[in-house]
Structure 1
């Protein structure tokens, strides 16, 4: 319980993105564990880690020290080729891409042929 109270006491909200999912980013500089001081709170319970924008991903993985809310270079600019809203990753879903295999199997499964009993 003391860890939770210490985290809440030292918590600093960095930014809330006005994006389709309204994620909140936090930082706790008083944490003793290295590289465990920044995290994101997703709006949905079934989140997709690819929803994090590139600038916030750089801040979350300690590539930059300033958050995109404080650094104008990391502000998200909508590019012409970029979709306006996040598209979910379909890798492990039924809609994911699965290539057609043209390779012949190396073995064929054994199917036992049994005579009917008399």
Structure 2
């Protein structure tokens, strides 16, 4: 069943192209606590070593922890697997994107939000005859 999901869904795990590229060029670098696995191999268009992640389940780029995010975007050459990376106190744990769900951000005054938007100067007042 997992193989069928990988064939027909690009958002779940890895695609056939990613599987082939990983098999041919990939060297496993490490994994994170969520079960995502990180690879490198080959060269990108800028001549740097290509880096990619195979997600454990649903592909959500915001689920990459801060240390791995820096490595995958070439901000550091040392992966968190090769060092004792500790997140800073201001780095928050991952929260899934709530867009389209009950956890979505709804500012005051939005159509789906609660309450009424406060009036501001420059708000439109509709024209009425004899006003």
TM-score (norm 1): 0.62
Establish whether residue 100 from structure 1 lines up as the match of residue 108 from structure 2: yes
Q: More helix by proportion, 1 or 2?
A: 2
Aligned partner of 2:4 in structure 1 is none
Residue 106 and residue 12 in structure 1: after superposition, are their counterparts in 2 closer, same or farther (change >3 A)?
farther
- Kindly name which structure, 1 or 2, has the bigger radius of gyration based on alpha carbons: 1
Report the TM-score, using the length of structure 2 for normalisation.
0.57
Residue 68 of structure 2 contacts residue 79 of structure 2 at CA under 8 Å; is this kept in 1?
Answer: yes
Shift of 1:87: 2.5
**Alpha-carbon distance in 2 for matches of 1:36, 1:15:** 16
Q: Distance in 2 between matches of 1:87 and 1:32?
A: 30
Q: What is the Cα-based RMSD across aligned positions, in Å?
A: 3.2
Instruction: Name stretches of at least 5 consecutive residues in structure 1 with no aligned partner.
Output: 109-118
User: How far apart are 1:93 and its partner, in Å?
Assistant: 3.2
Moved over 6 A (4+): none
DSSP 3-state at the match of 1:37: strand
Give runs of aligned pairs for residues 73-88 of structure 1, distance below 5 A.
75-76=85-86, 82-83=92-93, 86-88=94-96
